[in-house]
Each structure stands twice: as structure tokens, then as C-alpha cells.
Amino acid sequence: MIDIKLIRENPDLVKENIKKKFQDHKLELVDKVLELDKKNREVKLKGDELRSSRNSLSSQIGNLMKSGNREEAEKIKAEVNEINAQLVDNEKSEEELANEIKNIMMKIPNIIDDSVPLGKDDSENVEVKKYGEPVVPDYEIPYHTDIMEKLAGIDLDSARRVAGNGFYYLVGDVARLHSAVISYARDFMINKGFTYCIPPFMIRSDVVTGVMSFEEMDAMMYKIEGEDLYLIGTSEHSMIGKFKDQILKKADLPYTMTSYSPCFRKEKGAHGVEERGVYRIHQFEKQEMIVVCEPEESYEWYDKMWSYTVELFRSLDIPVRTLECCSGDLADLKAKSCDVEAWSPRQKKYFEVGSCSNLTDAQSRRLGIRVKGEKGNYFAHTLNNTVVAPPRMLIAFLENNYNPDGSINIPEVLQPYMGGISVLRASE
């Protein structure tokens, strides 16, 4: 959510930002906010005037009663009662206008950074840099579920019977590999100075609307029936919510945390053949990183965060590239975002395995995350980034470490988490 002062002082800038995101249907919201904001300030002014009159009149009552002028005192009491009735109606109008303004403000997208390329959707995202040499071997690499099945490591049929499509059983060495990657990612981030955290896996609706737009909420979140609780789609939701309604000490910033959680997503819509298996699923696990920092430091942290993901993937012998997300591909709260994509030698292309985002003060305004400054409190900046998200990441891992005999190389950094195993071999 942006600052309403920006809309008051520079509505054209806000409208231009909406156009850059190709959301012209939201242009009318700016004028609507200005109209409601004007009414709200008029109502507030009237309320101040009524309270001032009431205080002035109330101060007279005691003196009149002391002087024995009871009749005049009763008249003033009646005036005070009338003012109180007007104040009740006025305060109700003020509350209704404030809520209406807030609801509209939450639909107006955050101001994107000047460096963000313009484009309508993810097809217009811009490649920034490749890391590692993408190799296509001279032997066939099977589909990822076929690799896992030969390792006796996945059971999709049982998962369908138990939970339906979009779920899985990971078994044996593949399940161990999944956990090893998560554990390695955890320690990797701890060694970068991040504090490890396991957050709640369910959050209340006021946290959900604080961390994401209404559109994202509807498309992603599973609601717990009969309760004000939602299953998280990523631990970022809980981790940023941890600071809700807090006034942070300047000396304690930045907060740098890495969190583990299962993630639950609706994943609406049909998907292509390459997104079967464990590519796009309703349940997965992820190691995340979040930063809460000073506004002037957020873009420095943004560059650090995505670079950590690149470094981790390269340590696992997986070539990756970074893509700058264009304006139309940015969720409403994001000011800047980049995707990290891993190389698929089977598909001969890259696919997304992580995303890094700077939300500037959009989440902080919604959640009331402020910093205590010398000249007054101000809103912190928040950022999030995927460290690693198996089992999708396992697709890239298995393909890039696949041998002609069906075995899988285990990179040296991962071997301690696999009990010293250096190669996974297919079941006979």
C-alpha cells in the first residue's frame, strides 16, 4: 500500500505507474480515493469543530450551576447532548470513509522502481546474466518422475488415491535427497549470517491481506473452514507477519532471517506436460529468506539476496540465470523482482526455481511495521527471496547430475547430508 500523501500530491505519477503495470482498469481508483479523502478530511474537521464546541460549552456548565443559574445550565447541557449525537454520526461516517479509502488503497499497486523493464507479462521478462555453462549431454535424460521412479523414490499413484492430483509421496533416497537439500540450504543461509526460524504454518486474514494483494490471496491461499486461519503459501507470509504492529529499534536493523516451512497453494488452471509430476503442486517445502531493513538499504539487500540463491545452485553443479521481471509480471506489492531460473538439459531451456522481491514499504504500511527514528517513526522496507524449493528444485538437480547409466552424482557439499553417499544408483 502506498502513502496516501503521494496520491494527494502527485496523482499523475500514481496513474502513470498503474499504466506501466497495464492495469488501466484501476486508474479510476485514484480519483475515487481523492474524492473520498476530501470528504474524510471534511468530516474530521467537522468532528474537531464539534468537539471544540462541546468542550467550550461543557466548561460553562459548572460555573452556571455554582452561580445558581440552573435553567441556563440545562439549556447548555441540551446543546452538549445534541453535539454528542452529531459526533456519534460524524465518527461513524469517518470510520466508514476510512475503511472505504483503505480498501481502495490496497488495490492500487506499489510504485515500481525506475529500473524495472516495461512489459505486459512474464514473456517480456529480461535475461540479466547466466551463471555456469548450460550443457546438453549426448545421451537422453528421462522425464524427472521417470528418474525418480527408477530410484524407487516417488509414488504419485498412491498420492492421487489419498489426496488427488498435485500431491506426491517421496520415498527412500529421493526423500532423503529432498531433506538434504533443505538442510544444506538452511546451513548455507546461517553461514551467511541469517537467523534460522520455523514459523507458524497458518496465519490470520489480517496478516494475509498485509503481505499480498486480494487477487493473489484468492488464487493461492487455502482457508481453514470455520476459522480465521489460512495455510501459508510461503513462509514469507508468517515471517513478515511476525513484525506486525511493531515499532522496531533502529539499532536492531536489519533483521535477516531464513525460514523453513511446508507451503500450500491452489495452483489454479491447466498446465502443460512439463508441469506434471512435481513441478507445479499443491504442497511442497521451501527454505526462504526475508529481510526487514532501513529504506536506504533495501536495494543493497535485494542484490545480496538473489546472489545467495545463485551461489547455492552453482554449488550443486546447476547452471542458472537471472531474469528481471517486467512491470506487468510484478505482483501489486512489489517494487522490483527477479527470477532465478535453473537449466533443464532435458528441455534445453531454463525454468523458474526462485524469486527475489523488494516490496519497499508496501507490506509495512499494511501491517504497521515501523522503525523508531530520532525525528519520528517511519516504515521499514521488507524483502523476500527463495533459497531453495524442492521438490521442484530436484528436477534441475536430477537432470544436471544425471549419468548415462541412470545414476545421480551427489555434489561434494551435499554428501555430508546424505550420509557420505556420492552417487545414487537406480534400483535393479
3-state helix, strand, coil in the chain (%, to 5): 50, 20, 30
Q: Can you point out the beta strands (E) in 59-147?
A: 126-131
Q: What is the Cα 317 distance to its own chain's centre? A: 29
pLDDT for the residue 363: 97
Strand order in the sheet with 247-249: 247-249, 370-372, 378-379
Q: pLDDT digit string (tens) for 236-278?
A: 999 999 999 999 999 999 999 999 999 999 975 544 444 568 8
The CB density around residue 196, as the number of other CB atoms within 10 Å, is 13
Are 43 and 94 a contacting pair, CB within 8 Å?
A: yes
Cell numbers for 68: 445558581
The CB density around residue 145, as the number of other CB atoms within 10 Å, is 18
Lowest mean pLDDT among 18-27, 160-169, 351-360: 160-169
**Rounded percentage of the chain residues whose pLDDT exceeds 90:** 84
pLDDT for the residue 273: 42
Q: pLDDT digit string (tens) for 104-116?
A: 999 999 999 999 9
Of the candidates 289, 341, 299, the one whose C-alpha atom is nearest the C-alpha of residue 125 is 341
The DSSP annotation for 70-132 comes to HHHHHHHHHHHHHHHHHHHHHHHHHHHHHHHHHHHHTTSPPPPPTTSPP-SSGGG-EEEEEES
Q: pLDDT digit string (tens) for 62-94?
A: 677 777 787 788 788 888 898 999 999 999 999
pLDDT for the residue 234: 94
Are 310 and 322 a contacting pair, CB within 8 Å?
A: yes
pLDDT for the residue 270: 42
Of the candidates 176, 190, 119, 70, the one whose C-alpha atom is nearest the C-alpha of residue 414 is 176
pLDDT for the residue 39: 96
Residues of the chain with CATH 3.30.930.10: 122-424
Q: Residue 213: which pLDDT band, with cuts at 50, 70 and 90?
A: confident
Distance in angstroms (rounded) separating the CA atoms of residues 209 and 48: 32
Q: pLDDT digit string (tens) for 354-401?
A: 999 999 999 999 999 999 998 899 999 999 999 999 888 999 999 999
In total, the chain counts a number of residues equal to: 428
Distance in angstroms (rounded) separating the CA atoms of residues 243 and 398: 38
Cell numbers for 383: 524483502
State the CATH architecture for 4-105: Orthogonal Bundle (1.10)
Residue 99 one-letter amino acid: N
Q: pLDDT digit string (tens) for 34-61?
A: 999 999 999 999 999 999 998 888 878 7
H-assigned helices in 106-241: 144-150, 156-163, 172-190, 205-211, 214-220, 235-241
**Are β-strands 381-388 and 169-170 bridged in parallel, bridged antiparallel, or unpaired?**
unpaired
Tracing cell 500523501 back to the chain, one arrives at 5
Q: What is the CATH number of domain 122-424?
A: 3.30.930.10
pLDDT for the residue 114: 97
**Rounded percentage of the chain residues whose pLDDT exceeds 70:** 97
Are 406 and 426 a contacting pair, CB within 8 Å?
A: yes
Mean pLDDT (the chain, rounded): 93
> Whole-structure pTM over 0.85, yes or no?
yes
Are 51 and 90 a contacting pair, CB within 8 Å?
A: no
Q: pLDDT digit string (tens) for 405-414?
A: 999 999 999 9
Distance in angstroms (rounded) separating the CA atoms of residues 333 and 317: 33
**Average pLDDT estimate for 155-164:** 93
Does pLDDT of 420 surpass 50?
A: yes
Burial class of residue 317, CB neighbours in 10 A (0-12, 13-18, 19+): middle
pLDDT for the residue 268: 59
Does pLDDT of 297 surpass 50?
A: yes
The DSSP annotation for 335-354 comes to SEEEEEEEEETTTTEEEEEE
pLDDT for the residue 428: 59
The CB density around residue 24, as the number of other CB atoms within 10 Å, is 10
Are 263 and 148 a contacting pair, CB within 8 Å?
A: no
Distance in angstroms (rounded) separating the CA atoms of residues 428 and 426: 6
For residue 387, report the phi and psi dihedrals to the nearest 5 degrees: -80, -60
